[in-house]
Amino acid sequence: MTDVTLLKPPPVGLAMRTLLRADATVLLRNRQALLLSIVLPVAMLFITGAGSGRRQVLDPGYLIGLAITYGLMASGLFGYPMAVARDRESGVFQRMRVTPVPMWTVSVSRIVVQLVLSLIMSLVVLGLGGVRHHLTFGLSNWLLVLVISLLGAAVFLAIGQAIVGLTTTSGQVNAFSRVLFALLLVVGLVGSSGLLGTTFKTIAGWTPVGGLSNLFSAATGSVAWGSDQVIGLVASVGYAVVFGFIGVQWFRWTVR
């Protein structure tokens, strides 16, 4: 038996490194999460850009931003909360709760891994989008897209955290996320396009998808920075804070 004076909680750095390694491995082995987070946004980029070369309905910068937003939304509304709900149900968290590490490190590690995946997805989509639409982006465009991707990832992870905080089973999370995903996508996409008029476009600008798409449009240099982007920024920060608070406040590590 180890001398009891040597048995102490581990340094936070060691615990975080270990958790990050494990969470990254779990994510890399989760094909569904990778498909939703990277492959589908890239596919969406090529599908929505099918009019390229002829007359395009939507601006290329907007389409790239939309594909990135879609990837962030898929990761935040499906990948993250589903993994958390599943681990909560199966007792993974119950086991981790009896280790000498604070549980916030478990959450932070998972969120960091999701953020890194979101940034990689954003870089891939931006790079391929540039090729697809024959656009060249400067360093400032790349940096702005990364910053907005982080903000967008925070928005959707916060919403995902709220979903998993307010539900108890992975089935409920799945159902809730599907409905919300479709709703946000349709409202953001149709509203922001202006097809339903200016009032609906203004409302859509306040939604997570609409607000972020407007921010990405400016970040890629397709439109100038203006009031739509200010609204997008304010709305995104607001969503991240409010849903993050709900998600933390109501979250339970066990459902038993």
Q: Looking at beta carbons only, is 170 or 229 nearer to another protein?
A: 170
Select the span of 90-98, 203-211, 216-224, 228-236 touching another protein (CB under 8 A): 90-98
- The correct pick among 15, 187, 204, 240 for binding another protein (CB under 8 A) is 15
- Pattern 205-234, another protein, x by CB under 8 A: ------------------------------
Nearer CB in complex with another protein: 1/139? 1
Q: Tell me which amino acid residue 137 is.
A: F
Which of 222, 220, 243, 218 lies closest to 231, judged by CA? Answer: 218
Binding piece for another protein, criterion CB under 8 A, among 24-32, 48-56, 67-75, 162-170: 24-32
CB atoms within 10 A of CB 227: 10
18 binds another protein (CB under 8 A): yes
Q: How far apart are CA 231 and CA 242, in angstroms?
A: 16
Of the candidates 19, 42, 125, 187, which one interacts with another protein according to CB under 8 A?
A: 19
- Is residue 164 helix, strand or coil? helix
d(CA 163, CA 93): 17
Of 55, 98, 138, 197, the one binding another protein by CB under 8 A: 98
45 near another protein (CB under 8 A): no
Tokens matching residue 89? 């149900």
**Residue 54, helix vs strand vs coil:** strand
- Of these, 34, 39, 40, 96, which contacts another protein (CB under 8 A)? 96
CB atoms within 10 A of CB 18: 14
Minimum CB distance to another protein, residue 76 (Å): 20
Nearer to another protein, 4 or 224 (CB): 4
Candidate residues 32, 90, 140, 249; the one interacting with another protein per rule CB under 8 A:
90
**Does 17 help bind another protein (rule: CB under 8 A)?**
yes
Break the chain down into helix, strand, coil percent, rounded to 5.
80, 0, 20
- 58 touches 141 (CB < 8 A): no
The DSSP bridge partners found for residue 52 are 54
In the complex, the smallest distance separating the C-beta of residue 170 from another protein, rounded to whole angstroms, is: 12
Minimum distance of another protein from residue 152's CB (angstroms): 26
Residue choice 35, 51, 95, 226 for contact with another protein (CB under 8 A): 95
Q: Where are the beta strands (DSSP E) in the chain?
A: none
For residues 175 and 164, is the Cβ–Cβ distance under 8 A? no
Whether 160 contacts 180, CB under 8 Å: no
Residue 71, number of CB atoms within 10 A of its CB: 30
Residues that bind another protein (CB under 8 A): 1-2, 4, 7-11, 14-15, 17-19, 21-22, 25-26, 29-30, 86-87, 90-92, 94-102, 256
